[in-house]
Amino acid sequence: MARQRVTAKGEARREQILAVAFEKLGADGYRNASLRAIGRELDVEPAHILYYFASREELLQKVVERWDEGTLAAVGGVVPPSEALDFYVAAIRQNLRIPGIVHLYLTLAAEAVHPDHSAHRFFVERFRRVHSLLRDGIEREQAVDRIDPSADAALEARKLIALADGLQLQALVDPAVDAPGDLEAAVAALRRMRA
């Protein structure tokens, strides 16, 4: 019984650290959110954080996972195929309100290309999930004659993912870049292919 209380308390502390890290990264950016800065917010030493997370990298990965879960949770966890493309544009618009998290996502995704990286599997699964969402959305719009049925839905889905990630990077470098607006224009162009 006592062990369960410790586990529950430890899990609560881990969640608190994760919440503070998410907030700090979102507000101050990826480069400015050290373990020391996160520890200051919690009034603990960085070593205390590492008691709950194996490394800074694990903490950062958990922050990205939390962000990803939150995106879907905002719509009840399910995006109907008929709304997938518009949902994706809205998600990119929301992302740019937390540029530090987007910077972390892009950096971690680039680092995770190697199969030995701890976040590799997460990104493989995430890209597959987002690709399926967009492909299914395109196929649904093809079925109702909103997008040209001859378009390769899988290819167009990959293009939208690449475009969104590239536009978000450009928007971080130059805030004048309207990433969601440009992505929305790409979706509109895909829909106009039917004409």
pLDDT tens per residue, range 105-124: 999 999 999 999 999 999 99
**Are 39 and 49 within 8 A, CB to CB?**
yes
pLDDT number for residue 195: 53
Best mean pLDDT range from 10-14, 25-29, 92-96, 129-133: 129-133
In this prediction the pTM is 0.87
Torsion 149-158-26-19 (CA) sign = positive
189 has pLDDT over 60: yes
- Given this model, what pLDDT does residue 103 score? 93
Q: Which domains does the chain have, with CATH numbers?
A: 1-53 (1.10.10.60), 57-192 (1.10.357)
Query: 132 or 9: whose pLDDT is higher?
Result: 132
pLDDT tens-place string over residues 52-68: 998 888 999 999 999 99
Look over the chain and give the mean of its residue pLDDT values, rounded to a whole number. Answer: 90
pLDDT, position 56: 86
Residue 120 CA from chain centroid, whole number: 14
The pLDDT tens digits for 64-83 are 999 999 887 777 778 999 99
Q: How many residues does the chain have?
A: 195
Angle at 165 between CA 159 and CA 171, to 5 degrees: 130
